[in-house]
């Protein structure tokens, strides 16, 4: 049985069809990529899985459970974590405190016991601090752990957001444009990091990226969305050689400089 599955999921906004009967499967401990031109429906699909967007039709199954109508915070407790295209940290808090907040979401102790410092809460707090120290070491953020998130360069902010998502102890991690706005060297480091995350935390990843080359290099299976529909699905080699995918991306950049078109062809081919 697939670990996470979308079955004929459709979403419309007025007369605009954002997702049209989308089927998608993520297996346990698998890295799956999701690519497509702007407006293809990638973020809407992410929002459906995380729970911030309810499908008009279709079902979402996670770990054998129908979560189509489950609220976002409940999905987080079930093991779905995510990052965002635009970094969403608490800028006035330290890196460490941002990660602690992620741990707190999975503690299950409640504000009452936390406020009264009941034994159960104290034990959970100590466990959370230990988990945070491990994450800081894993992400190589120890040197900036006590700096405010707002003071950090974008690359370290993105690592902090990934750390906060990992602190919720997800079983499926949704990564939305994690390489956006960072340099090629840092993007290469992200590929290595995502592989380490899969191995070390034994979780599945769904990766949305505009960097086509990164996705095709990283992911064992890739879905291509276009106008809300699955245009292609398969291994990186199959997606690279699919004429419909090449046409969709060439159409997307046909009005851009030749260098942009060449880069797209190179990434796909």
Domain coordinates in residue numbering, the chain: 1-79+170-244, 91-169
Cα–chain center distance at 225:
16
Architecture of domain 1-79+170-244: 3-Layer(aba) Sandwich (3.40)
pLDDT at 210: 82
Residue 13: how many CB atoms within 10 A of its CB? 10
Q: Give the distance from CA 43 to its chain's centroid.
A: 10
Q: What is the pLDDT of residue 255?
A: 47
pLDDT (tens digit, 0 to 9) for every residue of the chain, 269 residues total? 789 999 999 999 988 999 999 999 999 999 999 999 888 999 999 999 999 999 999 999 999 999 999 999 999 999 999 998 888 899 999 999 999 988 876 555 444 445 445 445 566 677 788 899 999 999 999 999 999 999 999 999 999 999 999 999 999 999 998 888 777 778 888 899 999 999 999 999 999 988 888 898 899 999 999 999 999 999 988 998 888 888 877 565 444 454 444 555 555 55
Q: Given the structure tokens 């995918």, which residue do they identify?
A: 245
* Burial class of residue 225 (count of CB atoms within 10 Å of its CB; 0-12, 13-18, 19+): buried
**Buried/exposed 107-125: b ≥16 CB within 10 Å, e otherwise:** bebeeebbeeeeeebeebb
pLDDT value at residue 119: 46
Alpha-carbon gap, residue 162 to 136, rounded angstroms: 11
């Amino acid at each position: 049985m697939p670990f996470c599955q979308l079955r004929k999921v459709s979403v419309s906004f007025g007369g605009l069809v954002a997702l049209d009967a989308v089927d998608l499967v993520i297996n346990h401990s698998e890295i799956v990529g999701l690519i497509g031109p702007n407006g293809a429906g990638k973020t809407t699909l992410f929002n459906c899985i995380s729970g911030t967007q309810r499908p008009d039709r279709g079902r979402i199954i996670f770990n054998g459970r129908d979560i189509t109508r489950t609220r976002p915070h409940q999905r987080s407790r079930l093991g779905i974590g995510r990052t965002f295209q635009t970094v969403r940290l608490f800028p006035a808090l330290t890196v460490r405190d941002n990660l602690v907040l992620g741990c707190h979401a999975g503690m299950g102790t409640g504000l009452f016991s936390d406020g009264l410092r009941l034994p159960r809460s104290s034990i959970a707090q100590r466990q959370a601090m230990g988990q945070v120290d491990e994450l800081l070491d894993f992400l190589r953020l120890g040197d900036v752990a006590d700096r405010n998130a707002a003071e950090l360069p974008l690359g370290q902010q993105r690592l902090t957001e990934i750390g906060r998502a990992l602190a919720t102890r997800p079983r499926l991690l949704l990564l939305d444009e994690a390489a956006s706005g960072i340099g090629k060297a840092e993007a290469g480091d992200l590929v290595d990091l995502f592989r380490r995350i899969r191995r070390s935390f034994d979780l599945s990843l769904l990766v949305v990226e505009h960097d086509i080359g990164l996705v095709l290099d990283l992911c064992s299976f890739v879905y291509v969305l276009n106008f809300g529909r699955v245009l292609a699905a398969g291994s990186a080699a199959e997606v690279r050689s699919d004429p419909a995918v090449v046409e969709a991306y060439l159409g997307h950049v046909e009005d851009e400089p030749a260098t942009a078109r060449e880069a797209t062809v190179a990434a796909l081919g």
